Chains A and B, each alone.
With several copies, the nearest count.
Chain A
């Protein structure tokens, strides 16, 4: 019956328009903790394996079970993987939100839903596909305990039939998902196949959405930014990790634990070449990292906004006493607890200036999972080179969502351990060259002093005293005005050296562009798509993605060379826009416009397009 009705609707809805192939997004609405995650992954991977560029975003609540969750899979033959506002295919599994969910889709969308939800009446401009999921699961899954999860597999089958996802790829994805668990594969496959067959028998396709094999993902990987960053840390030879759980950063530490357990065990001794400690809070976490960095380890922590606030005092110590440390800030929506499971670039400004007193810090801002991997390594080199805390500013969208990427390159560059005198020999050589060892003396003009490590040399000259209070270049206590000034001026000089050492911004150009878009981090996906759309609409634009602070010269040049530059911030106050105003000449400040997105959802291309068009009064 259903099918007939549907066909009519399909006709009525008058959307016998052109097919939409490999360019729409699938929105799955479920309840948190209902185990839909594996189903969604399987859908996403199967599409990916069909060679279609894809991305998966999980919009989840700060709750463990019961509250609504949405998973969006975007397929894009052009390879755009940012969030997309309009929804092509909706799968309604959550009674709580079904009514609302249906309202959100575009006219002509396909809506798969649990029959009993009776959504048909709600709209007449979409394609409804009622499915008796709860009945089907009883037939398809015999073990009652498994049904709650298996029901989600049924919609995989239905979607596969409706959209033309190849069952072969679904099977591959399935067995990858449940690697080794034969039984699980078997049961879930039955459910998927059951859904597929039921759909084939009972549904008539009336919507325009279809997926077909192409060849744009060969050799690519899918990974989330936190796993990528963890991989980078493992490759960077991190030796001491202290962390305190907090969403969305926990998975970075937890992936790191498993990568290290697999790849950081000394083959000879069978012992770990790392120590990972769950601290009692973030003050302790950074404190441990400071102690370890001081003693010569490559040490790090990972946290999010509230943790950054708690790390403020220790960060000032690291800046002033010059101690290497790597801190990952996987940004979420603040201030305070805010929206712990939503994304934002809200800590850029406060982290750049973190600590009371005069202090500025090196920030690395990855714009892709690949950069999460690369900048993790870069961060340790910079922290040891500049003997200061370095922050890697990722965010929830980048860190916890699934992104396509080329396989990561094996690092060719050797570690940069910075100016460390590791042995009595090195210390003697240093003294021979510079007359003496003075912990905080700038012997070569770059603002960076040499350091020794506790316990590495028995030369009396090797020892020095570290303190957060005023000190001479010999690290002795001092309240002399000139000593303080000299130290602060050298730290400023060191920061200028860093300006030349941090990753340069990434520039993309379009012939004839007069306007530029300046952005950073996870905004890149939406911005590049926006540039594509803008060009189509006859407005070519260049883009510059800031990848680190302090701003390298290229940033200022980019602004100077465009009529108008739209600064894209995922926060309310235009934090990057503000930081630019602090460094640009007044003339160049006049070129800036600010586009701000701050509702907790990842940035989408439309927002950028609208911002630019508004500014250009198109």
Chain B
């Protein structure tokens, strides 16, 4: 909770910044687009966590969803890359500067269709970044064709029905060893902001598959990614509380009904179970849950799987503390002796 000095001044967070200073440009998305709701939650989460905005790297591909990185934290650097290949660009940025707090925003087309390959390898490497999929089951920016996450049997306005099974990006992520896997809904702001704060606290890829209705092309009767459908079908598996490491509150909770998980930075995420003793730290159980949800076509949300201890890619490389990007000629050009030695071996 932020200390308010001047009563007229807006409240500020622990680094002394107001929520305004985490804002971005005015959105150019359709009024009511689910993506804009997510943008607001991202802004809020970065503000509440007191992340230094200039350390934020906002990576995205191409799509309406990918545009949103311009709409938050404009004191951070943004990179709107090419379609479906943002994970590689984010990986490169993190290699150059592991001090960045990187958030990738992508769409279901950007990730599950053209981007499936890079998505797989980002997860395998466990690149330390938050990866948000603004999932509306269609290609919004190209006017509403089905993406690879379109639900079986869902219908476009044109009447076309999706006859291929959707790719469950959460299941895929868990399968590939991702240590923070959540599904949410842009209509469920309270849950979403908690999950985002947890993602900021996690070290490694934090995946959020957020159902985010496309009001223009996929929000009608018969769509299974509409606000209406999602609202009616959402089944949260937990009530999610988040206790940041920098806040010293001790509320007791009942371990029987609530699971507490300590994250990399010391923050704690509290999962009040709404589904009889579901253990979010059990990989097998998580996969089973998703399979069951798929078979029953249930729309489950919450922190599906969490495993905070897994090593991320950068620590495997044992990089120096100074970011590689900060190294200068002094540190990176070998001395004359080194060259002489190399030459000697070639004589």
Contacts and interface: CB of A to CB of B under 8 A. Distances in A.
B290 interface: no
Given A247-B142, A250-B143, A266-B320, A454 B76 contact: yes
Interface of B: 25, 28-31, 52-55, 57, 59, 62, 64, 69-70, 74-97, 99-100, 113-114, 116-118, 120-121, 139-143, 145-146, 148, 216, 317-321, 323-329, 331-334, 336, 338-339, 341-343, 346-347
Interface string A196-224: 00000000000000000000000111110
7 contacts: A234-B334, A264-B334, A284-B121, A291-B88, A337-B80, A454-B77, A465-B79
A95 interface: no
A280 B118 contact: yes
Contacts of A262: 338
A263 B331 CA distance: 11
B31 A66 contact: yes
Given A240-B95, A288-B89, 8 more contacts: A33-B30, A231-B342, A237-B327, A294-B93, A455-B54, A455-B57, A457-B54, A465-B74
A6 interface: no
Given A290-B92, A463-B75, A410 B113 contact: no
Contact of B81 (A240, A290, A297): A290
Interface stretch (A57-65, A126-134, A545-553, A606-614): A57-65
A124 to B, nearest CB: 34
A299 interface: yes
A482 interface: no
Contact of B92 (A242, A271, A455, A477): A242
A460 B20 CA distance: 13
Given A273-B331, A280-B114, A454-B76, A296 B347 contact: no
A468 B81 contact: yes
B315 to A, nearest CB: 12
Contacts of A337: 62, 80, 82
Contacts of A239: 96, 324-325, 327, 332
Nearest to A297: B96
Contacts of B62: 337
A294 B97 CA distance: 10
Contacts of B139: 245
A286 B76 CA distance: 23
A297 B325 contact: yes
Nearest to A309: B82
Nearest to A298: B332
A464 B339 CA distance: 39
B92 A240 contact: yes
A284 B85 contact: yes
Contact of A271 (B88, B113, B318, B329): B318
Contacts of A458: 52-54, 75
A78 to B, nearest CB: 22
B229 to A, nearest CB: 21
Interface in A303-348: 306, 313-314, 317, 336-337
Interface string A220-234: 111100000001001
Contact of A281 (B30, B70, B113, B146): B113
Nearest to A377: B333
A467 B62 CA distance: 10
Contacts of A231: 339, 342
A315 B272 CA distance: 49
A292 B87 CA distance: 12
Contact of B142 (A65, A246, A295, A465): A246
Given A234-B334, A288-B95, A317 B81 contact: yes
A235 interface: yes
Interface in A451-474: 452-460, 462-469
A452 B87 CA distance: 22
A459 B75 CA distance: 8
Interface in A253-305: 259, 262-264, 266, 269, 271-275, 277-299
A144 interface: no
A495 interface: no
* Residue with the highest number of chain A CB atoms closer than 10 Å, among B28, B70, B121, B318: B28
A434 interface: no
A414 interface: yes
A466 B118 contact: no
A245 B324 contact: no
Given A235-B339, A292-B96, A313-B82, A463 B54 contact: yes
A149 to B, nearest CB: 14
A127 to B, nearest CB: 33
CB-CB nearest 9 A-B residue pairs: A291-B92, A287-B88, A237-B332, A296-B325, A454-B77, A297-B96, A288-B92, A295-B96, A221-B346
B97 A296 contact: yes
A276 B331 CA distance: 17
Nearest to A461: B75
A275 B53 CA distance: 26
Contacts of B100: 295, 454-455
A178 interface: no
A410 B99 contact: no
A181 to B, nearest CB: 15
A445 interface: no
Contact of A408 (B79, B328, B343): B343
A277 B91 contact: yes
A406 to B, nearest CB: 10
B332 A454 contact: no
B347 A284 contact: no
A365 B188 CA distance: 51
Nearest to A282: B114
A287 B89 contact: yes
Contact of B140 (A64, A264, A275): A64
A317 B81 CA distance: 8
A615 interface: no
Nearest to B57: A454
